[in-house]
A and B are shown apart, each in its own frame.
Chain A
């Protein structure tokens, strides 16, 4: 991160956007949503052996309202689609989604009547992790990719666009 620090006590000069991104990328709290075998690998990644907390995913948040990253690990059946959608909707902005495993990315081996063929049909996905199941390293890599993505984000600019759209449509939020 390009921080221009002036020498002297207690002063730091940066852009507000960079400051926000810095804060966000250091604390992507995950919401573990493990529905099948991939969930086991996710647990391994979260536990002390692989220790995802090293990258700021400090506390698995079991409430969607306090989570930033939805880690969707496992098969999603069509019966479960409304639940997944509701959980995504309950997460507060900013929010990101990691689709972990072949099932979450594309339905995987389950090309059947009951399985959703990829969660991106229902919710937007930021990082896809291939594998059946992916190793915990795969999930860690996905988290690093996500952090890269957050770093390049423009939170203030986006807000401006959002406001403009609201003005045009005359809606109040």
Chain B
């Protein structure tokens, strides 16, 4: 596919992976190269519309995969003695940038992986002003810090909220965070 070739030619050494699935092209780039990669994609391939920025917490997926692999190994038992070589663990979080080329109507997904102990990512608000709110949402929900963002504040939850609720280790029903839930009547007869 022409787009795949031009992306790989443009990004060359910065490209970690380039896959195509279900008609979508995924490009994975290193975390610290994201600004330069996106700016060259924007300026040279015409991907000048940023649809969205999404965060992904992969911890549950990795756990499920590890469980499955272990089950398989147990099943095969002692017949297969040679263990598979251990692959290095993938970082827990991903940030995915969804780009669109409005002229050719092509879409591209650029992915970076963010390890849990280094949650800093360069902000791309210098390239797209519209990245402001998606980055704030991503910070709110996953705790990924975007460096160089002009106003990195929670977007959806209230400011004093103590957790990042879309992380997989956060329970759906919350951990009892409430906000001004106790109604204090200001005087007798206030309820009447």
Q: How far apart are the CA atoms of A166 and B188 in the complex, in Å?
A: 7
Interface 1/0s, chain A 30-51, versus B by CB < 8 A?
Answer: 0000000000000000000000
Q: Does A124 contact B (CB under 8 A)?
A: yes
**Number of contacts between A and B (CB, 8 Å)?**
58
Closest chain A CB from B188 CB (angstroms): 4
Residue B117 at the chain A interface, CB threshold 8 Å = no
Binary interface encoding of chain B residues 151-192 relative to chain A, with 1 for a CB under 8 A from any of its CBs, else 0: 000001110000001000011111101111101000111011
User: Would B172 and A165 count as touching, CB distance under 8 A?
Assistant: no
C-alpha spacing A124/B191, complex, angstroms = 7
Bound state CA distance, A173 and B189, in angstroms?
Answer: 12
The reply to whether B181 and A121 form a contact with Cβ atoms under 8 Å apart is: yes
Select which of B172, B183, B189, B192 is within 8 A of A113 by beta carbon.
B172
- Say whether A112 contacts B187, CB under 8 Å: no
CB neighbours (8 Å) of B177 from chain A are 78, 113
Shortest CB–CB separation between residue A82 and chain B, in angstroms? 5
Residues of B contacting A81 in the complex (Cβ-Cβ under 8 angstroms): 179-181
| Beta-carbon nearest neighbor of B175 in chain A | A113
Bound: A46/B189 CA distance, A: 32
Min distance, Cβ A24 to any Cβ of chain B, angstroms: 14
Interface string of A115-138 (1 = CB under 8 A from B): 010000111100000000000000
A162-B157 contact in complex given A113-B177, A114-B165, C-beta closer than 8 Å = no
Which 9 residue pairs spanning A and B have beta carbons closest together? A113-B174, A165-B188, A162-B189, A79-B158, A78-B179, A82-B180, A113-B165, A158-B192, A81-B180
With contacts A79-B158, A112-B172 known, what are 9 further pairs, Cβ within 8 A? A112-B174, A113-B170, A113-B172, A113-B173, A113-B174, A114-B156, A122-B181, A162-B188, A165-B188
